[in-house]
């Protein structure tokens, strides 16, 4: 199972004076792309591509991150993840005839992780292997499943007067699923990887640095995704802006390579067969009897945590949803409902009460209707859980009328369950299909009010209870145990 543990939360734990504020969330089902056609060709032999990426779908179809040209009609240079999860940087003509192809042996299969991909190209070099250098998280890739380099002084299809696409291969439907941040293209220079990142002196973790001082060249660009209305805005000083297609303000995310937020886990979905979209924050349970809950990417062992979920659909209209936490592995589609077993605790939307081990254990509020936003408060300092509806907390007598967490149910300590931790989880207790839009602090829907935790993290519809925090790597490093 891929997951974020409090002691292994990635680049965001590194002490840094540079924070990345935003990323762009790409959803293949929406055909999200950014496109630009340079007015003229520039340096086709020497350039740099650098970006941070957090994948949403793995072990799936070929997913293009960046391409120049149109498939089968022009020469094309592209960066993409293959269906078997290798990273490929290649150039080909319409046959397609490969001009070069570097395919990593490394597989990029962790949907909870931010990866830094850095590609420096200089085809003028006399030594073939010096013409393309690929770095992942600050370390040069040297092991390739396919390793063919361009001829000396080869003109790549990139940086020429043809369409450049972020999020797809133009002329095909190979749309990217996931998050991109700090997307940099330098025209005319093969930069060093240390020009865009560094290893933290304390943790040894690779982290981004400020790239605004780079000389980007004529067709160079720097997308930091900080302008929500124009996610394709180039801030390099060149105004080489990209045109957004289907990307809107809600696709701007605060889940970044310096503060990694929880999402749902597509690798933990074998029995559930749930449909995950929108950066793994929109979940639709299966229409069959697959009642096992889906788990998030973060294991929680200590601290106080808050997140929200909009209850957006229910095919049976019976509010059979279950929202809660799971402490052991899912091994069956039908026998592991969140409300039925001992290491799972949840709110049953049908009655608004807390259930555990096939019994109602705590009266809380009342029936939860569609369109409601449910708040979840997990307190691992005192080992207890409670819920709210549209900003009001259950009072333990069948009403949603408290301004702060009021009535809790005591859970087994994380150290006593199989995982020795709990995962946030969502599911149902029926053969219907229930939909949730989940907000661990970086929502996929518009927020009308906007509330942060006491550390200034997250974006929630309702006030974060005092002492509780968004589930993100910076908070995990401080409070996660």
Question: What is the pLDDT confidence band of residue 5, given thresholds at 50, 70 and 90?
Answer: very low
Domain with CATH 2.60.120.920 in the chain: 275-479
Domain with CATH 2.60.120.200 in the chain: 20-253
CATH fold of 20-253: Jelly Rolls (2.60.120)
User: Tens digits of per-residue pLDDT, 387-411?
Assistant: 999 999 999 999 999 999 999 999 9
Question: What is the pLDDT confidence band of residue 72, given thresholds at 50, 70 and 90?
Answer: confident
Domain 275-479 has CATH 2.60.120.920: yes
Inform me whether the pLDDT recorded for 73 exceeds 80: no
- 3-class secondary structure per residue, the chain: CCCEECCECHHHHCCCCCCCCCEEEECHHHCCEEEECCCCCCCCCEEEEEEEEEECCCCCCCEEEEEECCCCCCCEEEEEECCCCEEEEEEECCCCCEEEEEEEEEECCCCCCCEEEEEEEECCCCCHHHCEEEEECCEECCCEEEEECCCCCCCCCCCCCCCEEECCCCCCCCCCCEEEEEEEEEECCCCCHHHCEEECCCCCCEEECCCCCCCCCCCCEEECCCCCCCCCCECCCCCCCCEEECCCHHHEECCECCECECCECCCCCCCCCCEEECCCCEEECCCCCCCCCEEECECECCCEEEEEEEEEEECCCCCCEEEEEECCCCCCCCCCCCCCCCCEEEEECCCCEEEECCEEEECCCCCCCCCCEEEEEEECCCCEEEEEECCEEECCCCCEEECCCCCCEECCCHHHCCCCCEEEEEEECCCCCEEEEEECCCCCCCCCCCECCCCCCCCECCCCCCCCECCEHHHHHHHCC
User: Tens digits of per-residue pLDDT, 241-283?
Assistant: 999 999 999 999 999 999 999 999 999 999 999 999 999 999 9
Inform me whether the pLDDT recorded for 412 exceeds 70: yes
User: Tens digits of per-residue pLDDT, 81-124?
Assistant: 999 999 999 999 876 678 999 999 999 999 999 999 999 999 99
């Amino acid at each position: 199972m891929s997951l974020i543990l409090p002691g292994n939360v990635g680049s965001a734990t590194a002490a840094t004076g540079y924070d990345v504020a935003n990323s762009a969330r790409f959803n293949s089902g929406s055909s999200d792309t950014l496109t630009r056609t340079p007015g003229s060709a520039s340096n086709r032999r020497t350039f740099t591509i650098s970006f941070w990426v957090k994948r949403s779908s793995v072990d799936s179809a070929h997913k293009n991150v960046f391409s120049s040209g149109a498939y089968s009609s022009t020469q094309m240079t592209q960066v993409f993840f293959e269906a078997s999860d290798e990273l490929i940087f290649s150039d080909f003509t319409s046959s397609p005839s490969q001009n070069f192809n570097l395919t990593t042996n490394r597989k990029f299969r962790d949907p909870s992780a931010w990866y830094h991909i850095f590609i420096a190209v200089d085809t003028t070099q006399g030594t073939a292997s010096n013409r393309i250098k690929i770095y992942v998280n600050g370390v040069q890739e040297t092991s390739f499943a396919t390793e063919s380099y361009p001829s000396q002084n080869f003109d790549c299809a990139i940086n020429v007067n043809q369409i450049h696409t972020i999020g797809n291969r133009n002329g095909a439907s190979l749309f990217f699923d996931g998050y991109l941040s700090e997307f940099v293209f330098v025209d005319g220079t093969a930069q060093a990887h240390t020009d865009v990142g560094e290893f933290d002196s304390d943790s040894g973790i690779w982290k981004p640095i400020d790239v605004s001082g780079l000389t980007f060249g004529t067709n160079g660009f720097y997308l930091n995704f900080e302008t929500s209305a124009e996610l394709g805005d180039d801030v390099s000083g060149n105004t080489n802006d990209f045109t957004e297609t289907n990307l809107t303000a809600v696709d701007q995310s605060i889940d970044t390579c310096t503060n990694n937020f929880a999402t749902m886990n597509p690798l933990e979905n074998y029995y559930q067969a749930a449909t995950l979209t929108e950066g793994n924050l929109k979940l639709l349970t299966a229409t069959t009897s697959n009642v096992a809950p889906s788990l998030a990417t973060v294991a929680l062992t200590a601290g106080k945590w808050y997140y929200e979920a909009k209850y957006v659909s229910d095919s049976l209209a019976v509010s059979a949803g279950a929202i809660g936490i799971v402490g052991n592995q899912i091994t069956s589609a039908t026998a592991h409902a969140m409300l039925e077993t001992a290491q799972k605790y949840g709110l049953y939307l049908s009655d608004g009460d807390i259930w555990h081990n096939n019994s109602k254990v705590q009266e809380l509020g009342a029936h939860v209707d569609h369109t409601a936003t449910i708040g979840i408060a997990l307190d691992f300092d005192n080992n207890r859980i409670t819920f709210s509806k549209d900003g009001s907390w259950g009072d333990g007598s069948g009403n949603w009328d408290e301004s702060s967490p009021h009535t809790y149910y005591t859970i087994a300590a994380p150290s006593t369950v199989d995982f020795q931790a709990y995962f946030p989880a969502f599911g149902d207790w029926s053969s219907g299909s229930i939909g949730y839009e989940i907000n661990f602090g970086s929502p996929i829907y518009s927020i009308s009010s906007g509330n942060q935790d006491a550390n200034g993290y997250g974006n929630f519809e309702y006030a974060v209870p005092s002492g509780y925090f968004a589930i993100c790597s910076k908070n995990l490093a401080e409070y996660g145990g």
